[in-house]
Amino acid sequence: MATRSGDAINRQVRSNNLTVNAGTLRVIPNGLGPGVSKVAALTVAGGAKLDITNNKLITTTDVATVTGLIASGRNGGNWSGSGIVTSQSSATTSNFTSLGVASAQQVKGLANPSDTAVFAGQTVTGSDTLVMYTYGGDANLSGNVDVDDYGQIDFNSSTGGVLGGYYNGDFDYNGWVDVDDYGVIDFTVNIQGAPITSAPIALTSVPEPGAVGMDVSA
């Protein structure tokens, strides 16, 4: 188990359970394989932040819990809250990019939660939760917004509003699939560039961490 308190900067997080007790644990912007974090159970205490910047996260913590952490971190759109956040300016200043979340079973179309697949170079099971920095409205975490994403939001909005679920089309994390979510996907589809999964991303400099506390056990 890894426990972190105070501010810290990592290239990735790979451990069994991860608890962020205080401060901000930030993953250096990379966007490719080296920036993928993979942990078992994930806990982010109130007031603390896990900033995955433009990377991906794999965890065994359930989708509903992780969705709650992202919704808290998103804080209405400026990503200043506690929980799971991104500090990328295209997310904090607009809906152009965001953090998407879904189960591996949903993203990979697996028949059973115990089935396996590969996501971001890592083997995942259907029950794993996947978090990805991507374009706002990318429901299936493919790295771009396309007809499949519109299919998701159209299907779920036609039912009268589905409670929660980024994969269902709740792109603003307000708990419902509604007209505001169409605003997110319609805005992005017209200005998106190359798929985020394949676009080259330049590394940015980051300050040295202020204080790090870490305990690791098997």
More confident residue, 20 or 211: 20
Res. 77: pLDDT tops 60 = yes
Give the bridge partners for 91, in sequence order.
none
d(CA 18, CA 188) in angstroms, rounded, equals 33
Determine the pLDDT at residue 141: 97
User: Cβ(138)–Cβ(161) under 8 Å?
Assistant: no
Determine the pLDDT at residue 10: 64
Res. 73: pLDDT tops 90 = yes
CA nearest to 185, candidates 148, 133, 159: 148
User: Cβ(59)–Cβ(128) under 8 Å?
Assistant: yes
Mean pLDDT in residue range 98-117: 97
146 to each of 33, 125, 159, 172, 188, how far by Cα in Å?
A: 23, 25, 21, 18, 10
Mean pLDDT in residue range 126-144: 97
For residue 69, the number of C-alpha atoms closer than 13 Å in the C-beta half-sphere is 29
CA nearest to 206, candidates 74, 47, 66, 10: 10
Determine the pLDDT at residue 7: 62
Res. 209: pLDDT tops 50 = no
Determine the pLDDT at residue 15: 78
> If you search the block for the tokens 């029950």, which residue do you land on?
127
Determine the pLDDT at residue 35: 83
User: Which pair of tokens denotes residue 162?
Assistant: 């589905």
Res. 161: pLDDT tops 80 = no
Tens-digit pLDDT profile for residues 23-40: 999 999 887 777 899 999
Determine the pLDDT at residue 5: 56
Mean pLDDT in residue range 88-106: 97
3-state secondary structure the chain: CEEEECCEEECCCECCCEEECCCEEEECCCCCHHHCEEECCEEECCCCEEECCCCEEEECCCHHHHHHHHHHHHHHHCCCCCEEECCCHHHHCCCCEEEEEEEHHHHHCCCCCCCEEEECCEEEECCCEEEEEEECCCCCCCCCCCHHHHHHHHHHHCCCCCECCHHHCCCCCCCECCHHHHHHHHHHHCCCCCCCCCCCCCCCCCCCCCCCEEEECC
More confident residue, 172 or 158: 172
Res. 68: pLDDT tops 90 = yes
User: Cβ(124)–Cβ(63) under 8 Å?
Assistant: no
Rounded to the nearest integer, the mean pLDDT of the chain is 85
The pLDDT confidence band at residue 163, using thresholds 50, 70 and 90, is low
User: In the chain, what are the domain boundaries?
Assistant: 2-202
CA nearest to 65, candidates 84, 38, 88: 84
CA nearest to 20, candidates 9, 28, 29: 9
Res. 212: pLDDT tops 50 = no
User: Which pair of tokens denotes residue 34?
Assistant: 């080296």
pTM higher than 0.95, yes or no? no
The pLDDT confidence band at residue 148, using thresholds 50, 70 and 90, is very high
The pLDDT confidence band at residue 11, using thresholds 50, 70 and 90, is confident
